[in-house]
Amino acid sequence: MRSLLSLLALIGLALPAFAQPVAPVRAPLIVLAYHDVRDDVGTLADRDPDATSTDHLIAHFDWLKGNGYNVVSLEQVVQAGQGGAALPPNAVLLTFDDGLESFYTRVYPLLRAYNYPAVQAIVGSWVDLPAGKRMPYNGSDCDRSCFLSWDQVAEMQKSGLVEFASHSWALHQGMSGNPQGNLLPAAAYVNYDPAKKHYETEPEYIARLQADLEHSASEIAEHTGVRPRAIAWPYGAYTQIGQNVAASVGMKISFSLGDRLPKVGAGGTIPRLLVSGNITANRLGWLMRHLSRTDPVRAVQVDLDYVYDPDPAQQDRNLSKLLDRIKRMHPSHVWLQAYADPDGDGVADAVYFPNRHLPMRADLYSRVAWQLRTRAGVKVYAWLPVLAFRFPDGKDLPSLGGEPKPGGDHFRLAPYDPKVRQMIGDVYEDLAMHADAGGLLFSDDAYIRDTDNLGPWAKNTPGQNTQALIDFTRELTTRVQRWRPQVRTARNMFALPVFQPNAEAWTAQNLAAFNQAYDFTAIMAMPQLDKQSDKISWYRNLVHKVAATPDALDRTVFEFATQNWRTNKPIPSDEIGQRMRAVQAEGARHIGYYPDDFLHDHPDLESIRPYISASDYPWPEPAR
């Protein structure tokens, strides 16, 4: 069910603009996630975006059989992960969510005909829906007849073909996740009580999940005689904390939704390919063979300071303007500022989310990030400093360079100090606890000068300092992963170390090391920062230098300035577009820009859209 939350479209069904061919990969295991199966699914559009027509499901099963894929049971997956018999080549696990009646009437007969095992994840409260009560389900108005009965569940369990998992008892819903009332997945976020103006604490969150998942597991065991060993997280959203709770009630296997390849026996949650849009067998086959692809990034970096306004009505107008612009522009990513920086010095004196150590300018990040994801359909990365924090109760904390001169380096805390590491880590974890963090963008303050107060790092080589900073960002990522296990990472990098490798000595930045450590490296393709001439040849040369590092173009985002940092004047939109096309012509796959001044339409929307849109060059063809 995704009527409340459109984040479920985690697997894009259209190849983005400028996509380059990727060699097909046969994974050790592919897990497919289906939902409703009906005979009357619309050919062009349907009220239920996750529904699959019966004839398409038959075609999927035929395609699997005809192309050498082997449908396996969950038991086979478990045994393989525990060192037992290896999975057969091209293994596929079939899963179905929501406990819909169509699983019994349409899917179960096909499983028997093909002798295909499957997992069905049921929502207990939906199966228990009282007679006469109705509920919305993906564009339909459902009563008790929409869902399986416990008698049907028991019958299919006895067949040996179907294993039942939990989809929670009553967590498959949105709940208030912030003061603005945005609905977030109940299993993966802390609840906000507007009457008490109180966020659920971690112990309260754990107790709520514990009660629900124990209820679900006990009920399934009561009706099938078997306690479930797996949970499919509603909406694919989960936390490591919740994963531990599920394991404590016997569900040590968990499924999410995502575009990463499963790792049999590696532990953690198994990502599944969401089958939606009533796709054809050939299209499904293409997706299965290209799960390891990296789609081109089209990133727009946004200052949340531009949205914030002390007047709530004006703030709402600002947000509406941003959402409308991003939706019309259709980039793939928004890198969204999560800290307040009204003076533009790059230092976090306050943030836009509840936390332990810094003033909260406004509880705004969660609202904006969620609406960007659900209304504009983009992936949102939280943009935060790594070292540039000023804590009110941290005046005695050591810094790397002290207070900088005007126009000089950032104020940066010393990352070798344990208290600094703890406090910054607390801020990152608090962000993840209170807001969606699909990704992290580590800001451009993460550098080390050879003239800095390096303390115990003073004897390090440049490469060791580079790695030490990388290790610190990994520590921050680990803190975030308690609440957002699927978080992706990107890190800003100056262009100078790409042109001059010896610059690592006074930046602690190295492209090859970054590309191994992060999902993406965002090189600031901004010659003014290095006092270089702003010519097209500079950008082309930058691409050539990046390409000299093996596979670097697949992991590097070229981020352009929309403002001349020397003159503080806007760069004309057509010039920005020309620079983007120039680097693409040299082989760059991923591009972005900063800042997006959506309040004053710079870059001009119609001018920049053909360059930054992730739509099909840049808009899809009309339906015929």
- The model's pTM is 0.92
State the pLDDT confidence band at 228, using cuts at 50, 70 and 90: very high
Mean pLDDT of 151-175: 97
Per-residue pLDDT, 534? 87
How far is residue 210's CA from residue 245's CA, in Å, rounded to a whole number? Answer: 6
Per-residue pLDDT, 530? 79
Mean pLDDT of 126-153: 94
CA 170 to chain centre: 24
Mean pLDDT of 134-139: 90
Per-residue pLDDT, 1? 40
- In sequence order, what DSSP letters do the residues of 556-614 get, joined into one string? EEEEEESEETTTTEEPPHHHHHHHHHHHHHTT--EEEEE--BTTTTBS-HHHHHHHH--
Q: E strands along 303-401, which residues? A: 333-337, 339-340, 350-351, 379-384
Work out the angle between the directed axes of helices 240-248 and 202-224 (0-180°, nearest 10): 40
The 3-state secondary structure of 527-558 reads: HHHHCCCCCHHHHHHHHHHHHCCCCHHHCEEE
Asked if residue 572 has pLDDT above 90, the reply is: yes
Please determine, looking at this structure, whether the domain spanning 26-289 carries the CATH number 3.40.50.1100.
no
State the pLDDT confidence band at 7, using cuts at 50, 70 and 90: very low
How far is residue 436's CA from residue 373's CA, in Å, rounded to a whole number? Answer: 9
* Spatial contact of 37 and 106, defined as CB atoms under 8 Å apart: yes
* Spatial contact of 389 and 347, defined as CB atoms under 8 Å apart: yes
- In sequence order, what DSSP letters do the residues of 392-406 get, joined into one string? TT-TTS-BSS-SPPT
* Spatial contact of 413 and 397, defined as CB atoms under 8 Å apart: yes
How far is residue 510's CA from residue 505's CA, in Å, rounded to a whole number? Answer: 10
Please determine, looking at this structure, whether the domain spanning 298-612 carries the CATH number 3.40.50.880.
no
- In the chain, domain spans: 26-289, 298-612
Asked if residue 191 has pLDDT above 70, the reply is: yes
Mean pLDDT of 284-299: 91
State the pLDDT confidence band at 575, using cuts at 50, 70 and 90: very high
Per-residue pLDDT, 265? 57
Which of residues 623 and 261 earns the better pLDDT score?
Answer: 261
* Tens digits of residue pLDDT in 23-50: 444 568 999 999 999 999 987 778 899 9
* Tens digits of residue pLDDT in 386-424: 999 999 999 899 999 988 888 789 999 999 999 999 999
Asked if residue 139 has pLDDT above 90, the reply is: no
Topology agreement, domain 26-289 and domain 298-612: yes
State the pLDDT confidence band at 528, using cuts at 50, 70 and 90: confident
